[in-house]
Structure 1
Amino acid sequence: MTKMLTKSALALFDSLIAFDTTSRNSNLKLIEWIESYLDGHGVSSHRVASPDGSKASLHASIGPAVEGGIILSGHSDVVPVDGQNWSSDPFAVTRRGDRLYGRGTCDMKGFIALALAGVPLFKDGKRPVHLAISYDEEVGCLGAPALIADIASQLPTPAMAIVGEPTMMKVVTGHKGITVHTVEVLGHEAHSSLTHLGVSANMIAVE
């Protein structure tokens, strides 16, 4: 079974890498390909289109429609290859020894290929496995929020999510984040000769 799964994953890997899903491009052909693959296994999937319709995220559930499943999450876009000294075609998998080279092999089409290869096995599980594939992660995680909202509104609550980012084979249970706040500080204007009658918004903001 392991050899069959590996062979299936490698074939899927070749197909996924062949799509030039650099973030500036549409990913719809890749999404269509994945939809067709899932349909061939009797698995329905759901698109979540970008605002302009040029890209889409996708989610699908395999197994029983019960709570407590696992989300396997990956992004479909890759970073550019412009101006880089590639010695092989970045959009074709090249094998050198025990390594596979191509744009997106680690980040993250390799993980997506493994998730898709497991679909036949997931169908017999006692808990569902949900696939979640987003767009535009490399340029700000633009596709993920709508995908998450769609999953939350349609699927039974999962127990956890595994995001298959490359981590040198170490389990990472958290990640750095960022939060942005817009703050308005109000003062009270006064003439410079009567500063005791005013309130400096700048001074309050500094505090």
Structure 2
Amino acid sequence: MNLERSVEILSDLIGFPTVSSDSNLDLIEYAGEILETLGARTELTYDDQGEKANLFATLGPETDGGFVLSGHTDVVPVEGQPWTVQPFTATASRDRIYGRGACDMKAFIACALAMAPKFRAADLKRPVHFALSFDEEIGCLGAPLMLERL
């Protein structure tokens, strides 16, 4: 895996303030562009207000099966917490990256997106799916909407 690319994507993802009460559309557009550039087939499902979306994207053959890399895009609020760095700016210190969502779960999403070019270049027998959902932090509200469409 390209560590530098993972860190670059993670820094970008942390910069999207995707608190559950707010929209995640900018992050979804960013991730979708990365995957679409690689030829992924993408589908969005929106909440009732059209302010949040799930992204389901597929690389590889159009066949059954495969595996899913799934993550949620929302984060918990930062108000009332003693942050020593800007929560929506990735800050590197002592071989770590700090920022809201860095561990839960934007780093996983960053690694999955950084690996996407390798999946695209591989001779896949089964597809690789990317499932990015909204509102996991407040009851997994987005994932069921995505599952209904699959």
Q: Equivalent pairs: percent with the same residue?
A: 48
Q: Is the 8 A contact 2:47 2:142 kept in 1?
A: yes
The residue number in structure 2 matching 1:56 is 53
Counterpart CA distance in 1 for 2:81 and 2:35 is 34
Q: Give a deviation string over 1:137-190, Cα, whole Å, max 9, x none.
A: 000100010111212xxxxxxxxxxxxxxxxxxxxxxxxxxxxxxxxxxxxxxx
Q: 1:107 aligns with which of 104, 109, 126?
A: 104
Aligned length: 148
Counterpart CA distance in 2 for 1:29 and 1:15 is 11
Q: Give runs of ≥4 in structure 1 deviating > 4 Å.
A: none
Q: Give a deviation string over 1:8-35, Cα, whole Å, max 9, x none.
A: 1111101111000000001111111112
The code of the aligned residue for 2:100 comes to R
Aligned Cα RMSD in Å? 1.0
Give TM-score, length-normalised by structure 1: 0.69
Counterpart CA distance in 2 for 1:66 and 1:34 is 23
Q: Give a deviation string over 1:99-157, Cα, whole Å, max 9, x none.
A: 11110001010000011011111122222110000000000100010111212xxxxxx
The code of the aligned residue for 1:46 comes to E
* Consecutive unaligned residues in structure 1, runs of 5 or more: 152-207
Counterpart CA distance in 2 for 1:68 and 1:39 is 21
Q: Rg bigger for which structure?
A: 1
* Consecutive unaligned residues in structure 2, runs of 5 or more: none
Give TM-score, length-normalised by structure 2: 0.94
CA apart distance, 1:89 = 0.7
The code of the aligned residue for 2:142 comes to G
The residue number in structure 2 matching 1:133 is 132
Counterpart CA distance in 2 for 1:69 and 1:18 is 31
The aligned runs of 1:143-158 (5 Å cut-off) are 143-151=142-150
Q: Give a deviation string over 1:67-123, Cα, whole Å, max 9, x none.
A: 231001000000000011111111111111121111000101000001101111112
